[in-house]
Amino acid sequence: MGRGSHGCSVLGSSLLLLFCLGSAAAQKASTWKTLSGDSPLVIAKGGFSGLFPDSSEFAYRSAPGAALWCDVQLTKDGAGICLPTINIDNCTTISNFDPKGMKTYNVNGAPLKGWFPVDYNSTELLQQVFLKQSILSRTVRFDPLPIVPVEDVLSKYKTPAVWLNVQHDSFYSQFKLSMRSYILSVSKQFVVDYISSPEVNFLNSLLGRVNKKTKLVFRFLDEQTIEPSANQTYGSILKNLTFIKTFASGILVPKQYILPVTKDNYLQPHTSVVDDAHKAGLEIYAADFANDFLISYNYSYDPLAEYLSFIDNGAFSVDGVLTDFPITPSEAIGCFSNLNDSKTDHAKPLVISHNGASGDYPDCTDLAYQKAVADGADVIDCPVQVTKDGIPICMSSIDLGDVTTVATSQFASQTTVVNDIKATPGVYSFNLTWEDISKNLKPKISNPMSKYQLYRNPRNRNAGNFMRLSDFLDFTKGKDLSGVMISIERAAFMAQKLGFGVVDAVIKALDDSGYSKQTTQKVMIQSTNSSVLVKFKQQTKYNLVYMIEEDVRDAAPSSIADIKKFADAVSVNTMSVYPATDNFLTNQTTSLVQSLQSAGFPVYVYVLMNEFVSQPYDFFSDATQQINAYVKRPDGGVDGVITDFPATAHRYKLNSCMNMGNNTPGFMIPAQPGGLIESMVGAAQPPSTAPLPPLTESDVTESPLPDVNNNAKAPASSHAAIRVRTDVSAVLVTLMLCTSLMI
């Protein structure tokens, strides 16, 4: 019997439409370093199990371009069903159906407590027990869903291949259930492309009894685990691949067999296992891929980069990958392979760093800027703060506690409350001199997703050197950059409370560095304050970028007219382009990008991050999918992205599927807002949210910047008050000791 070709008929959602419009990978003319020379196989573990419950109909129907993986389990009456584990408590509602059904059985020589499929007949499981999401960090809004029979996977879903995995043949034999007989039976009725097992005897029992086109694959478990029939560790068996070749055509190994990692999660050099397998005539497949699992820090939270390291590293390619997120390896194979020598830069989007490559190194350090340039950023940025001695520096936060080690330094006691900034104490850049900061403090990497226990590049958490604005401008000259962006906030506070004219100081630094006299690199000035940009427009011809802080759905014509008086481009936040609720994109219409672009403004979106928890589920825990959605948005894509990870955005610009028009493969079609929510049943949908407001003229209009207060006293730390006076030509710093220090 053949497989169904109606893989898009059941859900009827825009999500499924996305996958079904073009699920075939874009074709590559080059030869792969796989055993056959063909492109690697994408194997969807339980379907698209990174989003939907593993082995559910939703999951299987959402991965039509991938081979469908089914973990075969047997029921009490010998029926085959697809369930990810033999203990079915975590992945089903079995404990609700049979609260007292917990038992303890011997599984691979060890006792295992739980609920097992062998205790229930197929009618009970298929009609009264339902699948649920088994990984706690994933959404449960698609639960519950029916359990799927093996025969359905073999016949109903559109797929290039079906892969049956038999994990526990010896367990079922205890109950006089023959997994071998079941597999042979379905092999006679349906096309089974792959059968895998970690048990040597089971695969040997199938040899010569299944279709000649069916590939038998030996699955390796942890190297120290003992294979039951051979009574050897899997690590020992790995050394005898010629033995495996006698009963199998391939091997499936944990990805760490190929690219091991250190205890602190950094990559080690690759092993020879891929070459060894190919020399033995064995295909080799890598397992354990999931976009929402912690991957090596070397990948900078970019799952696409991880897949490419297994299929397109110049040295070898695995023959396939087993993944919970089939969309990402599909895009890796179809659109992002063989790009190392590509000179094709599709121009859009403009890649603007956010505090340098701050996803890999501490914000605004020399290392962060060096990596941003090396990673292909078009524009690198410097957010300006001021020191106690009136020196403009590049620092992402005015509070040194956010981005330096000041809390553990000799300056830790110099805290003060500045209500104009925040209500809690801090040690601010204007509390310390440049020498205090540069010689006594270390940078501290930003970890915006630390509440989820996701940390950036721990080995380099304090690496790099701080940079003055003048250092930054000296560094950027002559680099392969289209421009620099200088961000200015709290200019009014600096003028009134610190006596520091930040606009004048920035203009002077640009003049001193020669930027005002060159046209090779564009100078961009960004601010959320229109008053700052108005003053720059009065005194310079730099490119001025207005940053909209508010979440807005559109901009009133009067507000756009006001912005045109002082700005050349606009930055908007991610929520204003794609509103979300409970981490799902809504179908709420936003016209902000179109309205701004119609008025002649390039639009940049901020801030993009690679950590999967920063992205709505609609982007499939894949930063590349997120970028694609913003750039290829049907109602108007953004012109640039402001990102902590310039490498990911730059690689996107090189992809070979960028301009394929109607031939764009399904995995590169932008997410449709509301698509996932539409797939949910009734009460499972997140609560609806009120429409975002429009941007109004009153949101934009500000009073002019105040004159610099030459008599200002900076907010005092516990030991000192500071007076800073700045004009275009000079900086005067006066330190006044407190009475307590004079006594």
Q: 603 - beta bridge partners? A: 570
pLDDT of residue 89: 96
Q: Are residues 283 and 357 in the same domain?
A: no
pLDDT of residue 341: 61
Say how far apart CA 505 and CA 473 lie, in whole Å.
Answer: 13
pLDDT of residue 549: 96
Does residue 31 lie in a domain region? no
Does residue 169 lie in a domain region? yes
Does residue 343 lie in a domain region? no
Say how far apart CA 724 and CA 505 lie, in whole Å.
Answer: 13
Q: Which residue among 274, 308, 337 closes a domain?
A: 337
Does residue 18 lie in a domain region? no
Strand positions, DSSP E, 1-79: 41-45, 67-74
Does residue 411 lie in a domain region? yes
Residues 15 and 672: beta-carbon distance below 8 Å: yes
Say how far apart CA 166 and CA 210 lie, in whole Å.
Answer: 15
Does residue 723 lie in a domain region? no
Mean pLDDT (whole number) for 236-261? 97
- CATH for 531: 3.20.20.190
Instruction: Tell me the pLDDT tens digit for each residue of 418-462.
Output: 999 999 999 999 999 999 999 999 999 999 999 999 999 999 999
pLDDT of residue 277 exceeding 80? yes
Q: Are residues 417 and 555 in the same domain?
A: yes
pLDDT of residue 26: 43
Burial 272-290 (b: 16+ CB within 10 A, else e): ebbeebbebebbbbbbebb
Say how far apart CA 275 and CA 343 lie, in whole Å.
Answer: 30
Q: Are residues 332 and 382 in the same domain?
A: no
Q: Are residues 77 and 196 in the same domain?
A: yes
Q: 431 lies in which domain range?
A: 350-699
Residues 77 and 319: beta-carbon distance below 8 Å: no
Report the domain count for the chain. 2
Q: Are residues 327 and 379 in the same domain?
A: no
pLDDT of residue 141: 95
Q: Are residues 298 and 422 in the same domain?
A: no
Q: Are residues 509 and 633 in the same domain?
A: yes
Does residue 687 lie in a domain region? yes
pLDDT of residue 129 exceeding 50? yes
Q: Are residues 333 and 356 in the same domain?
A: no
- Beta strands 416-418; 422-426: pairing state: antiparallel
How do the residues of the chain divide into helix, strand and coil, expressed in percent and rounded to 5? 30, 20, 50
Pairwise pLDDT comparison (2 vs 138), residue with the higher score? 138
Q: Are residues 363 and 333 in the same domain?
A: no
pLDDT of residue 25 exceeding 70? no
pLDDT of residue 346: 61
Q: Which residue among 307, 337, 367 closes a domain?
A: 337
Mean pLDDT lowest among 16-25, 201-210, 298-307, 719-728? 719-728
Handedness of CA 104, 109, 110, 115 (dihedral sign): negative
Instruction: Tell me the pLDDT tens digit for each residue of 613-663.
Output: 999 999 999 999 999 999 999 888 999 999 999 999 999 999 999 989 899
Does residue 386 lie in a domain region? yes
Q: Are residues 332 and 363 in the same domain?
A: no
pLDDT of residue 577 exceeding 60? yes
Q: Are residues 589 and 672 in the same domain?
A: yes
Q: Are residues 379 and 309 in the same domain?
A: no
How far apart are the two ends of the chain, measured CA to CA in Å?
96
Spell out the residues 6+ positions from residue 585 whose beta carbon is closer than 8 angstroms to its own. Answer: 578, 579, 616, 618, 671, 673, 674, 675, 676, 677
Mean pLDDT (whole number) for 102-118? 94
